[in-house]
Structure 1
Amino acid sequence: MEKTQSIRTAIIGAGPRGTSVLERLLAHAADLLTAGNPGSVADGSAPFTLHIDVVDPYPAGPGHVWQPGQSRLFLMNTQSFYPTLIPEDPALPAALAGSTFERWRQRQQQDPLPSLTDEERAELAVLGTNDFPSRALYGRYLRSTLDDLLARVPDGVTIDFHETSALSVRNGADGMFDVELATGAALRTGSVVLALGHIPSRLNPEQRELQAAAQQLGLTYLPPAVPADVDWAQIPAGEPVLVRGMGLNFFDTMVQLTEGRGGKFVETGGLDGRLEYEPSGQEPLIIAASRRGTPYRAKAALAGYYASSVTLRYLTEAAVERFAAAGIRPGFDHDLWPLLHRDALWAYYSTLVRSQPGAVPDSAAFLAALEEALHPHAHSAANWEDAVESVLAVHVGPRHRLDLPGLAAPLAERTFASRADQDAAVVEFLLDDARRSALGEEDPVKMAIAALHHGRAVLKTAVADGGITDESWVAGLRGWFESFVEGLASGPPALRSEQLAALARAGVVSFVGPDPKFGVDRRARTFIASSPWVAGQPAAARTMVEALAPGNRVSANDSPLLQQLLDDGMVRSRHMMTAEGAPVQSTGLDVEPHPYRPVAANGSVTEGLYVLGLQLSSAQWGTAIAAEAYQPGGPAYRSGQRTLRDADEIAAAILRR
């Protein structure tokens, strides 16, 4: 790189990923200016100049999703010790400022910033390392970290923040880019980073029909949205509201319509210590529905992000490397899932033997036989699952067997005579799941799920950048495994399950049942929902909420910028081939690594244009998860800080141009 060169770059998107690129640009710039570096100011050469334009209609740092002013009832899905904006890899240029969220939390408790609000101070006062922070507080961390970085900008680096939207990015004849802003201004820059995060998405056909019916019949329909964007006041008290989706957005909906309206959860003094709900009278009647009929399973109470008693034996990073060394591009169902399946079985049964000694009479003989049955014999034609079943038939009674698929569908093939019976079954599931979560590493079911959670981190590395076949990505990884593992390992804190059970007992929440069908009763002017497994009349309501995140599909985007890039052929969606040889449009952009650059409609790669984050969902798996801080004594999977390394590669490439 010529140090006398004047470099200009634009980052579109100022949430955590865009801020990561900014942080890495500052770190690399400082590294180039450090005494002793060839070409640095210290060796007598002229310094380079770097100008960074950051474009986002929301304040930089928190961006859209992590706004510090949102309701504090919206919790993160990870504990305080987990997230970080700052990389901890000693091989990367050192950060100029900032730390992990956990260290920031500790510092604020000891010496709080004068700018912290009373609400932020109150939350920090009781927030522990294993607690789940509010999304608002994480947004405050992001903003605080950015402020610290901006106080240490190296000489020769300037930054302009544009709180507006970018409408288009086009190539200029001189190799520069022209970025048009919604204000009418234009930026001319040598490179552009697309860190777009969650973008608006067009509704699918069914959702469009529901929305149109609502407009015609005077109903209220709330489409998928970031929970902080929703006007919850438009949902009337005392009336039914249909809520579709029982993943993480559901719990945001649930708490906003209950605690957010003045209701209270209180602990009873009985032996079970269960929660009860005291209504305020301002709640609607929440009627919840999802394909499983139950919400995501709750997280286990663990000391760290990964269960320390679980160590992968089969789906290891070394196993993934052996595929690559042998020139094998593995399939998910055929090569990777059988290894992770083994790990889940071993985690369950080894925990069962440890935590419930009476469950298996001869535990030593059982574990030895199980280990032999699980061992991947390269030249054996035997079905390993049959071998495992034979071992279980001898040593483990039916009551203690693991039904792994059944964990994700606890109501599967059960019929109910009424919605009340089905509600009782859901409450029983919620309380049992919360009880298991409280047992943590002593519960065999939660440790089987913990193995899947460990394995997910290894899979992210295994499948990245074309690491598995297209057909297994389409049919296996995204076809069934993604929803399966998310329902088990991506759930809320156990407190949310206990709260939901309390709300159901109080009559504030009821459930539609598995495999729900939604429609509109035009004569009655209501939305309706029913389950084929639950007898009785359909649930009906004049209000319906889609408790789902906006679809992360490039082809269904409702972003003027992304649509312009697609229309102009500067980017394209990635197509994958099914086992039958049919092309299928995948969710993300077609990109060339590393760093990630979009592939144009004609197959070329535009130099100086980079992609980071959710739009990489066809090259990476699990792009919505934040970077993991390193945990002492815990596994440091390569996927944990992948996003931060991606940002570092982009920053290095920008400064090399």
Structure 2
Amino acid sequence: MKYTMPTTSPSIAIIGLGPRGVSTLERLVAHLNAVENPPQEFHLHLIDEAQHGSGRIWNTSQTKALCMNTFAHGMTLFSEPGSTVDAPVVEGPTIYEWVRLHLGHNEEVSAEKRAYVDKHPLDDALWERFSTEELEQIRPESYPLRALYGYYLVWFYNSVLQDIPEWVRVHSHKARAVSIEDHGDFDVIALNNGESVQASATIAVTGWQKQGLAEQEKWIAQTLEDHPDLNWIRANNPIEQDVSSIKDNEKVLSRGLGMGFFDILILTTEERGGQFVEDSNAAGGLRYIATGKEPTYFASSRRGYPFMPQADDGGLPPAAEIPRLKKVVAELSDREGRRSIDYDVEVWPAVLRDAYHAYVKTLARVEPDALKADLDTVVQAIDDAEVDASVVFNGVSAMDDVISQYTTKRFSLLRWMHLLPANFDSSEELTAYLMQRLEEDLKDAEAGQDSPVRAALWSLGFSRKPTQVLGAEGRYTVESRHHMFDKAIALAQLACSGPPIFRTRQLMALVDAGVVKFIGGYPLLDTDRNTGEWTMSSPSSGGVRYRGTTLFDAWVHKPDIRKTPLDPLMKDLVDKERVVPFTDVWEDGTELPTASVAQHPQSRRVLDAEGQEDPRLHMVGIPAHAQYPDTTISPPLPGTDSWFIQEADKAATSAFNITLSMNKMNQAV
């Protein structure tokens, strides 16, 4: 093995150059540009075997069939004035503004952002895949293609590289980091191309990693050995799943009803020649013209309900008011220590009351005759209603009584917490019920801010970040975290992190065309002893066993260091105990290891088994999902002081300070 740089000069390595990696790089470069007395020699190593800038998931070469579930004007990698960051703020365009600048519509972008682009000119790469007509169709409220976001990321990355000071030597490595060895004052990072690099500080931004097999997956793998004619498309990012292995007219058993499911439908229907056409007589306003070769999907998930379409707000929805939750957060934010906050008792009542307040306030605006009393009276009744989360969902009933007493409407969050209120005798009955619910979801989504239902769900969704930040570092009791907190976050994700409206319309068209049939919740996977096929059943559809030759898992595993990671770098760090799990603590003092890597909240350096900070190694993003909020959310929203950029800044600041200290020591010597 050869060293790329046999030196003890200050050096930083960034492993992983997707969105979080390049955001971390930008924060680091902002620090480097503020150095008044730079070292004589400084090395920066940028490591990723995927496309630098976009990473694997946002690769620019991917199909145009896949879109994002975030608005074009709601995505940026730039920090903003007022951001909670240590490195200097650098302003730049959102992806929508970046597109408009490509088209020459400079007057639509602020002077500060235009100045950045003047200094970091746009290149012609975007025009290689996108036409003027395609780009002109993008509005602030559009859901951009994932490939387009990839081009934005690559431009951002190249722009950051332009800003690196001349005294910094940059080394780009198109390779995967596979291990890190501690050599006292520095680390040696081995790459899969036989090279290695030295780093006095390392920031690992490894993103979604391949995981070892869970227990059921081990059974699936063994079944494949016994029945080689069967197919399993394991959970992964859609562009990395072998969609081509799904044959024409094949029966596919699918688990997961989020974005991955919507993606696979498009990749095996429209991408194979099928067409969606407008049809006012169709349930969702679309009709699917089949090729006659479509697979049939028997679809299920834990909930058994597809992610709801996002509201048509004509742009970024306004911030929810959540006055009660803001007050609670202000009162509890300074409380320190593990298990110091009971979410059920101290936080959930505020979240629930805010949601019902949002419902009645919107109802009073769009349908004032529906209120039997003035709004202030109804709101006071909401505040007076008892909320008791000691029994699951018991606290919702009192709120429902308020709605019944003071309005002519019926509304209950129970309807979205218990999405399948009954078990049906067959997939056909369940599918008919879900199509009715999807029509309702679609109607509310189309109404946008004029839908009282969407207002309540948006309030719940908007509460995610402040409640997650409040409970970070294990501040919620484990009991309450696994009770109402998990349920509230799950419902918020279902309602506010779903697909664009047109994807729900396409799903409904595919149901009408017989391409998709719903099985229900909590699916039971097995094999048919006679035919050898996969079988799947659910109590939601009468326990009927549906057969298929392909099993498709439509989700992405979150990293879990409790299992044996397949990612060689993470496996190396776990084996050496360079990283350990972050632990929750039960009421009786029992420690509960989580899936996350334990990290220091300020520096983002990993912790050892004694809770001591590693001298050099930092981690950013998804591997810390159980300890910190929003680590799986990308890209960040402008105007939100995003946790995404805050954590990138924390790691960059720590790595910068480590190397700065090293440089001072070298100068002293």
TM over 0.5: yes
CA distance in 2, matches of 1:579, 1:98: 47
Map 1:1-80; keep pairs closer than 5 Å: 6-32=9-35, 40=36, 47-80=39-72
Name the counterpart of 1:239: 250
Q: Is the 8 A contact 1:348 1:444 kept in 2?
A: yes
Match of 1:102 among 96, 100, 105: 96
CA distance in 1, matches of 2:336, 2:212: 41
- Name the SS of the counterpart of 1:19 in structure 2: helix
Q: Give 1:291 shift.
A: 2.1
Q: Is the 8 A contact 1:86 1:644 kept in 2?
A: no
User: Deviations for 1:361-387, whole angstroms, at most 9, x for unmatched residues?
Assistant: 33446425425426999xxxxx98676
Is 1:185 the counterpart of 2:188 in the alignment? no
Name the counterpart of 1:35: none
CA RMSD of aligned residues (A): 2.6
Q: 1:272 to 1:279 in 2, by over 3 A?
A: closer
Map 1:192-591; keep pairs closer than 5 Å: 192-217=202-227, 218-270=229-281, 274-308=285-319, 310-316=320-326, 318-325=327-334, 329-364=340-375, 366-373=377-384, 388=399, 391-397=402-408, 400-412=409-421, 414-478=422-486, 480-535=487-542, 537-556=544-563, 557-591=565-599
Q: Is the 8 A contact 1:297 1:433 kept in 2?
A: yes
Q: 1:64 to 1:650 in 2, by over 3 A?
A: farther
Name the counterpart of 1:645: 649
User: Deviations for 1:177-213, whole angstroms, at most 9, x for unmatched residues?
Assistant: 1111111111111111111111101121112212221
User: Deviations for 1:197-234, whole angstroms, at most 9, x for unmatched residues?
Assistant: 11101121112212221232120111111111122111
CA distance in 2, matches of 1:521, 1:49: 66
Name the counterpart of 1:380: none
CA distance in 2, matches of 1:407, 1:490: 14
Q: Give 1:580 shift.
A: 4.2
User: Deviations for 1:225-275, whole angstroms, at most 9, x for unmatched residues?
Assistant: 111112211101112111111012111111111111111111015598711
Q: 1:368 to 1:197 in 2, by over 3 A?
A: closer
CA distance in 1, matches of 2:611, 2:448: 50
CA distance in 2, matches of 1:247, 1:206: 21
Q: Is the 8 A contact 2:328 2:350 kept in 1?
A: no
CA distance in 2, matches of 1:384, 1:622: 27
Give the letter for the 1:177 counterpart.
Answer: D
CA distance in 2, matches of 1:522, 1:274: 42
Name the counterpart of 1:619: 627
- Name the SS of the counterpart of 1:433 in structure 2: helix
CA distance in 2, matches of 1:25, 1:504: 49
The answer to which of 219-228 and 90-99 deviates more is 90-99
The answer to which of 64-73 and 597-606 deviates more is 597-606
User: Deviations for 1:536-591, whole angstroms, at most 9, x for unmatched residues?
Assistant: 74110011101111232122222111111111121101121223433222120111
Q: 1:266 to 1:638 in 2, by over 3 A?
A: closer
Q: Is the 8 A contact 2:75 2:638 kept in 1?
A: no
CA distance in 1, matches of 2:224, 2:518: 22
Q: Is the 8 A contact 2:582 2:594 kept in 1?
A: yes
Q: 1:168 to 1:536 in 2, by over 3 A?
A: closer
CA distance in 1, matches of 2:235, 2:387: 44
- Name the SS of the counterpart of 2:297 in structure 1: strand
CA distance in 1, matches of 2:38, 2:152: 36
Q: Is the 8 A contact 2:47 2:175 kept in 1?
A: yes
Give the letter for the 2:272 counterpart.
Answer: R
CA distance in 2, matches of 1:617, 1:537: 36
The answer to which of 388-397 and 147-156 deviates more is 388-397
Q: Is the 8 A contact 2:18 2:55 kept in 1?
A: yes
Identity among equivalent positions (%) equals 27
Q: Is the 8 A contact 1:195 1:613 kept in 2?
A: yes
Match of 1:176 among 166, 179, 186: 186
Q: Give 1:49 shift.
A: 3.5
Q: Give 1:487 shift.
A: 1.6
Q: 1:644 to 1:128 in 2, by over 3 A?
A: farther
Q: Give 1:609 shift.
A: 1.2
CA distance in 2, matches of 1:627, 1:467: 26
Give the letter for the 2:68 counterpart.
Answer: M
Q: Is the 8 A contact 1:307 1:447 kept in 2?
A: no
Q: Is the 8 A contact 2:378 2:406 kept in 1?
A: no
CA distance in 2, matches of 1:609, 1:569: 13
CA distance in 1, matches of 2:335, 2:202: 38
Name the counterpart of 1:37: none
Give the letter for the 2:649 counterpart.
Answer: R
Q: 1:252 to 1:523 in 2, by over 3 A?
A: same
- Name the SS of the counterpart of 2:293 in structure 1: coil
Q: 1:484 to 1:283 in 2, by over 3 A?
A: same
Give the letter for the 1:57 counterpart.
Answer: E
Match of 1:153 among 149, 164, 167: 164
Q: Is the 8 A contact 2:336 2:475 kept in 1?
A: no
Q: Give 1:161 shift.
A: 1.3
Give the letter for the 2:467 counterpart.
Answer: L
TM-score (norm 1): 0.89
User: Deviations for 1:370-419, whole angstroms, at most 9, x for unmatched residues?
Assistant: 25426999xxxxx986764554453234xx2322132143322x232332
Q: Give 1:20 shift.
A: 1.4
Q: Give 1:110 shift.
A: 2.1
Q: 1:501 to 1:409 in 2, by over 3 A?
A: farther
Structure 1 unaligned residues grouped into runs of 5+: 33-39, 378-382
- Name the SS of the counterpart of 1:130 in structure 2: coil
Q: 1:452 to 1:416 in 2, by over 3 A?
A: same
CA distance in 1, matches of 2:134, 2:497: 24
- Name the SS of the counterpart of 1:513 in structure 2: strand
Name the counterpart of 1:36: none
Map 1:116-135; keep pairs closer than 5 Å: 116-121=126-131, 123-135=134-146
CA distance in 1, matches of 2:383, 2:304: 38
CA distance in 1, matches of 2:385, 2:241: 49
CA distance in 2, matches of 1:299, 1:445: 12
Q: 1:621 to 1:254 in 2, by over 3 A?
A: same
Q: Is the 8 A contact 2:356 2:399 kept in 1?
A: no
Q: 1:281 to 1:110 in 2, by over 3 A?
A: farther
User: Deviations for 1:82-108, whole angstroms, at most 9, x for unmatched residues?
Assistant: 121121145654467853323212212
Q: 1:389 to 1:257 in 2, by over 3 A?
A: closer
Q: Is the 8 A contact 2:283 2:439 kept in 1?
A: no
Q: 1:639 to 1:346 in 2, by over 3 A?
A: farther
CA distance in 2, matches of 1:7, 1:65: 31
